[in-house]
Amino acid sequence: TYALSAGYRLIDTAAAYFNEAAVGAAIRKSGIPREELFITTKLWIQDQGYAHAKQAFEASMENLGLDYLDLYLIHQPLGDYYGSWRAMEELYKAGRIRAIGVCNFYPERLVDLCLNVEIPPMVNQVELHPFFQQTKALDTMREFSVQPEAWGPLAEGKHAIFTNETLSAIAQKYGKSVAQVVLRWNTQRGVVIIPKSVHKERIEENLNIWDFSLSEEDMAAISSLDLGHSEIIDHSAPETAKWLNGWKIHD
């Protein structure tokens, strides 16, 4: 509700977040015309496959109370996501979904999907922040015309990001917060950002990044912070696949 009143119009949720009904209630309470909102939700691993994906989509729509969805994403590159994709292509053609995409697809998975489906994914939502920049992955997305979208753009507060010396110096230079600098950095790379906060002041602050631009020098300084790997989750690890497949969101 804070976010909508502050001017946010993109809302990102997922079946696995267990908050679709609450999001739907907030949308109705806001009174904002539906066409002004961009609503995203996601299909969980347990519901992968053609028939299950169709059922899961309808369940999400009922929870959200919507007639159509702006973006539907496959939440993880696990399970029968090819079957799910066929279902999503049909829902897209029928006008039930305005755009379809994926989450957490590393370049090799993304390329394979793009080359073997009728409608390639339009979005890939992945972890993107100064400590895990995924520059080569972004190059691959551009090659296949897939829009990158960042989850965890503030590194989930890890790596002491808000007190980092390099980021703090740049923030002071522009009279902005570290969070604003980090979000601006990703937008200048052509990345859509979905920062998460529950604090009204930070929600408003995170939106206020359009009145300045980072110099090439500052962009380069931030690029030096890249660790080259995630310290939040490694989607290439067998342990991750086991853990995610074991996560059930319904009976």
Active-site positions read 17
The CA–CA distances, whole Å, from 138 to 71, 134, 145 equal 20, 6, 10
Which is nearest to 113 in space by CA: 142, 83, 69?
A: 83
Asked if 233 and 172 count as a contact pair (C-beta separation under 8 A), the reply is: no
Q: Which residues pair with 150 in a beta bridge?
A: 126, 193
Which helix (H) or strand (E) covers residue 89, if one does? helix 81-93
Residue 175, CA atoms < 13 Å, CB-side half-sphere = 2
Asked if 66 and 24 count as a contact pair (C-beta separation under 8 A), the reply is: yes
Which helix (H) or strand (E) covers residue 147, if one does? strand 147-151
Structural tokens at position 5: 């009143």
Asked if 128 and 100 count as a contact pair (C-beta separation under 8 A), the reply is: no
Three-state SS for 122? coil
Q: Residue 157: CB partners within 8 Å, gap ≥ 6?
A: none
Structural tokens at position 101: 């995409």
Q: Which residues pair with 39 in a beta bridge?
A: 11
How is residue 45 annotated by DSSP?
Answer: G
